[in-house]
Amino acid sequence: MKLAALACASAAVLALSLSAGAQAQSRDSIRISGSSTVFPFTTAASENFGATSGFRTPVVESTGTGGGMNLFCAGVGLRHPDITGASRRMLPSEFELCRRNGVREITEIPIGYDGIVITRAAGTPTIDFERKELYLALAATIPMPVDADGEPVFNANGEPKTGRDFNDVAAYSCDSFIPNPHRRWSDVSNDLPSDRIEVIGPPPTSGTRDSWIELAIQPGGRQIDCLDALRGSERNRFEEITSRLREDGAWIDGGENDNVIVQTVANSGTAFGVFGYSYLEQNTDRLVAASIEGVEPDYDDISEGVYPVARSMYVYVKNQHVAAVPGIAEWVEELTSEDAFGPFGYLADRGLVALPESRRGSVRERARALTPMTGLD
């Protein structure tokens, strides 16, 4: 009864939004956009749904989390996606964008966990990174490296002063900041290889990139004493300094198709790739993952929050489309079935780390009732 009432209300809203010209055309399949990391999961659920439900197989596009949110929140009507996947939670600014454009009934579905991995080609030596090392290798700007006497080792352009080199660095001073001078991993730490720093990862539109910065780069910055102090006194400045990645070839935007990053890294002896754990799971014969602070990315450590760079995966449903597009409620039932997002479901075979049993139950109940979000806590 609740679903029927929701459908009637949604139909009235959507009918108004479709009254103009081209928008009045019907659509007989669900349209899903969003994260490249969530893409394998929404694709698998859609393929199974199309094969078993009698509804058409949904159309799934990999647009990146940010790109998917922009499409999803652009309005109500059949030219807009019905569902979007996200490798981070919807931002308050995105929620407000949805509301401004009339998207006022959204169901949020946490579907499981994923870890962000940094990998390179199989057969290469394994590496353990500290997040501080990842910050120092990949951030666009770093605090001034200083020697044991507190004297700067580099000039303002990030060039070593005469007679100085990376071996003279004893600490970092936030009295000034310089363009990242590190060219090789061994510049960052003598414990790392002498290979050129080259990391291929997601572009700015990707939720994986947002999460990589939030969970790896910024905590790495906080492991430098003066930056941790800066975060306490000037939070905005800390965020600005630690959220920008290099644009000089050390960090390379690999696009929204993570399979392209996998292919490139697998064929390189020195380049690293950054993407979701699910892609590592599908390519263990071609890739080897680095550990982070002594923890290797595996199912249990991601599920229990032990692996330092783990995050939640989400799907968002536009409830106002339920009455107009066949199968949305039924697709949600498929996605939240034990056969799909349970620990032994087919999404686990794609690399999704399942929610705990007790949480799966509450998520399933709210998702199938299409309970709308009231805000972002």
Check residue 175 and give its pLDDT.
96
Looking at residue 136, its pLDDT comes to: 98
The answer to whether 334 and 324 are in contact (CB under 8 A) is no
Confidence of residue 160 (pLDDT cuts 50, 70, 90): very high
Look at residue 26 and tell me whether its pLDDT is greater than 70.
no
SS (H, E, C) 107-176: EEEEEEEEEEEEEEECCCCCCEECHHHHHHHHECEEEEEECCCCCECECCCCCECCCCCHHHCCEEEEEE
Greater confidence (8 vs 296) lies with: 296
User: Does position 334 have pLDDT exceeding 80, yes or no?
Assistant: yes
Residue 92, C-beta contacts closer than 8 angstroms, at least 6 positions apart:
376
Identify the pLDDT of residue 16.
39
Q: For the domain 115-310, what is the CATH superfamily, name and number?
A: Periplasmic binding protein-like II (3.40.190.10)
One fold for 2-113+312-368 and 115-310: yes
pLDDT tens readout for residues 342-364: 999 999 988 899 999 889 999 99
The H-assigned helical ranges of the chain are 2-17, 39-52, 65-72, 92-100, 131-138, 185-188, 207-212, 218-222, 225-233, 235-242, 258-266, 277-281, 299-303, 328-335, 338-341, 357-368
Class of domain 2-113+312-368: alpha beta
Cα separation, 139 vs 133, whole angstroms: 10
pLDDT for position 358: 86
Question: How does the average pLDDT of the chain come out, rounded?
Answer: 91
In which band, very low, low, confident or very high, does the pLDDT at 304 lie, cut at 50, 70 and 90?
confident
- Mean pLDDT over 365-375 rounds to 95
**Residue 3 pLDDT:** 44
pLDDT of residue 140: 98
Q: Sign (positive/negative) of CA torsion 233, 237, 243, 248?
A: negative
- Asked whether the whole model's pTM tops 0.85, one would answer no
The domains of the chain are located at 2-113+312-368, 115-310
Identify the band that residue 25 occupies on the pLDDT scale cut at 50, 70 and 90: low
The conformation of residue 306, written as its DSSP 8-state character, comes to -
Say whether pLDDT at 196 is over 70.
yes
Query: What pLDDT sits at residue 20?
Result: 35
Residue among 160, 163, 129 nearest 145 (CA): 160
DSSP helix/strand/coil, 201: strand
Which among 181, 171, 185, 170 has a CA at the least distance from the CA of 142? 181
Q: Decide: 95 and 375 in contact? Cβ < 8 Å.
A: yes
4 pLDDT above the threshold of 60: no
Residue 46: partners with Cβ closer than 8 Å, 6 or more residues away = 30, 32, 57, 58, 60, 331
Q: What is the pLDDT of residues 207-232, one digit of tens each?
A: 889 999 999 999 999 999 999 999 99
In percent, how much of the chain has pLDDT > 90? 82
How many Cβ atoms from other residues are within 10 Å of residue 21's Cβ?
7
Judged against a pLDDT cut of 90, whether residue 47 lies above it is answered with: yes
Average pLDDT over residues 239-257: 93
Amino acid 226: pLDDT = 97
Give the pLDDT score at 12.
43
Instruction: For residue range 108-158, list pLDDT tens digits in order.
Output: 999 999 999 999 999 999 999 999 999 999 999 999 999 999 999 999 999
pLDDT above 60 (res 262)? yes
The stretch 54-79 carries a mean pLDDT of 96
Token pair belonging to 141: 């700007």
- CA angle, residues 134, 136, 141, in degrees to nearest 5: 125
